[in-house]
A and B are shown apart, each in its own frame.
Chain A
Amino acid sequence: MRRLENAFWFAFAVPTLGIVLVLFFAPFLYSALGSFQSKSGQLTLDNYALVARLYTKDVLYTVGIATFSLAIVLFIGILLCGYLRVYGNKLVEFLFKIPLFVPFVVVGHAMRVFLAPHGILNSMVAQIGLINLDNPPSLAYSWLGISLALAWKNMAMAVLLILGAFRSVHETYLEAARNFGAGAIRQTLDVLLPMSASSLAVASVLMFTSMLASFSIPLMIGGGKGAQMTMIDVYYRITYQGDYGAANALGVVSYLLASGAAIYYLRTVTRK
């Protein structure tokens, strides 16, 4: 009976497993193998040598932007979710979830309009005389613009995940802290944050890997000069140079960057 039950559940899982194997593992293995092949099919490490020579700066740039964006998201997200958990505010919660329903391309365009040299932000700041629009600074087309746009886009996901974790902390813990005089910030930092640490780590991993793989926002907000995020490098390598070997090597490097975080995520999830 037990074996029959196991067989049933295995059969139930086969389609899902099949899709993962066909659409994820097979292309991944194919790409990983391709990264060790020259155009003529010979086994080689040339693609990695090329990546190391041309793209080390881009890899560091990508990790730096993803880390900085994540720091912004976590800083704002934790304080905001602490406020929402302690006091509750449906309107603010709704407003912060709006980016969840805005596509990446739209975010990229909106942020370009907002952060451009003659964009909305500079126009507003110029109104109070802080900058001169004849020679305006620009957040767009810079690493900071990409970071801010990624942070804005990921904020909704952060609110969803962090608030969910904070809400799973029982009210009596907050009441106990409040009874001793802890305000909203101390309740957040002393109680909510440590008690949601593993959920927060998982949320951070998901957002970090998503940021590493971001493409449309860096493409639209990035300056097109200097360091680029790795997904743009992959795009150019394939589209303009037809160099799948180097593109695959860049993909494997990105995967390795994300896999450290992913391993932590999987371990946390399976432990739960």
Chain B
Amino acid sequence: MSEPHVRLVNITKRFGNTVAVDNVTLDVARGSFTTLLGPSGCGKTTTLRMIAGFHDPDAGDIFIGERRVNEVPSHRRNTAMVFQEYALFPHMSVFENVAYGLTIRGLPKPQVAQKVRATLKFLALEGLDDRSPHQLSGGQQQRVALARALVMEPEVLLLDEPLSNLDAKLRVSVRTEMTQIQRSLKLTTIYVTHDQEEALAMSDAIAVMHQGRVVRFGTPWEVYYRPRDRFVADFVGLVNFVEGRLVEVSPQVLVADVAGRSLRFAPEGLALRPGDGVLLSIRPECIGISLAAPTGAANVLHGQVAVSQFLGRLVRYWVAVDASTWVVDEPDPSTYSLLSGEVYLTIEPGKVHVIAAENKDKDEGGR
């Protein structure tokens, strides 16, 4: 990771008796796109607002670069925020909205005009200068809000669920645009969302928050495929959880007994012993499904299709195996019809991830 640009050190924020943010420590790399991801009420927006200077932390320190900014007012932190509802001033034109911050800064009018026009051009908003915000589409409003933030040339850009008011299709195109803009400017960006797909698609790093704490921080791949607890695995995408007990341990492979069946998986460098309990996670797209019995596969399960859903780019199956149900995603369903009846599931050992392990002697915690 490159040098941290924004550092949160043990920050805590309480509202009455409620702890909104609980002892959060986080390093945001310079020039990165970092997302605070979590369900409603997890503390992500409060964290962002503390970085922006709208809330003061009750404990801990916030650094932007080398500067501790706890007591620095919002406009002296050199951050710019894009709000969920955009907060474009309805009585001002697009031009006036974008120029507002520069005017307050006291820049000469020609300089303001030049900067505003350049920013509007950069965001493909030319020709909309004189329009009122209510005359713009949702996507245009979102870009004007971004222009109003970018024109200030902030050190750090803060985005509070800016896509949540857009329809699904527009959201995808705007998030691509937004990522391209961020990459081209190499601007340190902190983004808040509850949408895990958005977070995975846009971010260099994701901090998953739960009950005021950061429970996982890593790249999108690490967060998705290497969750460290049940909450993260469950919140970020669909997952199959499997509980078992280790029956065989070797440097190459671990074998767990899962409801009377053997499941082989990679050790991932863990120091485990036979008899240890394990919680495993397997993503639906990591499981193969077929009507014919596969040969040579390390893990094969035999079950019955209970439900299937055609989702266009994939088919999602719920397969009953003994007393449990497995979710399986089959990509590219364009060449066959939906499967039904008895099926075989295959799982590669390398695609099984150990979320938690419990030592049989109870002398070790989970990982």
Contact = CB atoms under 8 A, between A and B. Distances in A.
Interface of A: 170, 172-173, 175-182, 186, 190-191, 194-195, 197
Given A179-B74, A181-B75, A181-B105, A195 B90 contact: yes
A173 B85 CA distance: 9
B104 A176 contact: no
Which 5 pairs between the two chains have the least Cβ-Cβ distance?
A180-B101, A181-B75, A194-B91, A176-B87, A172-B87
A181 B101 contact: yes
A179 B105 contact: no
B83 interface: yes
B231 interface: no
A170 B105 CA distance: 24
B319 interface: no
14 contacts: A170-B85, A172-B84, A175-B54, A176-B89, A178-B75, A179-B74, A179-B75, A179-B79, A179-B101, A180-B101, A181-B75, A181-B104, A182-B104, A195-B90
Given A179-B52, A180-B152, A172 B105 contact: no
A209 B218 CA distance: 65
B85 A195 contact: no
A182 B76 CA distance: 11
Contacts of B89: 173, 176, 190-191, 194-195
B45 to A, nearest CB: 11
Interface of B: 52-54, 74-76, 79-81, 83-85, 87, 89-91, 100-101, 104-105, 148, 152
A94 B270 CA distance: 65
Given A170-B85, A172-B83, A172-B85, A177 B100 contact: yes
Contacts, number: 54
Contacts of A195: 89-91
Contacts of A178: 54, 74-75
Given A179-B80, A180-B104, A181-B104, A170 B90 contact: no
B98 to A, nearest CB: 11
Contacts of A181: 75-76, 101, 104-105
A186 B89 CA distance: 13
Nearest to A191: B89
Chain A binding surface SS class: helix
A181 B107 CA distance: 13
Contact of B83 (A176, A191, A194): A176
Nearest to A174: B87
Given A172-B84, A181-B105, A197-B91, 16 more contacts: A170-B85, A170-B87, A173-B87, A175-B54, A176-B83, A176-B87, A178-B74, A179-B52, A179-B80, A181-B104, A182-B75, A186-B104, A190-B100, A191-B89, A195-B89, A195-B90
Given A180-B75, A180-B100, A180-B152, A175 B81 contact: yes
B86 to A, nearest CB: 8
B208 to A, nearest CB: 25
A35 B105 CA distance: 60
Nearest to A175: B54
Contacts of B91: 194-195, 197
Contact of A176 (B76, B79, B81, B105): B81
A226 B291 CA distance: 106
A166 to B, nearest CB: 14
Nearest to B75: A181
A187 B341 CA distance: 66
| Most chain A beta-carbon contacts within 10 A, residue among B79, B104, B148 | B104
Nearest to B54: A175
Contacts of A175: 52, 54, 74, 81, 83, 87
A215 B152 CA distance: 55
Nearest to A193: B91
B62 to A, nearest CB: 16
Contacts of B54: 175, 178
A194 B133 CA distance: 15
Contacts of B53: 179
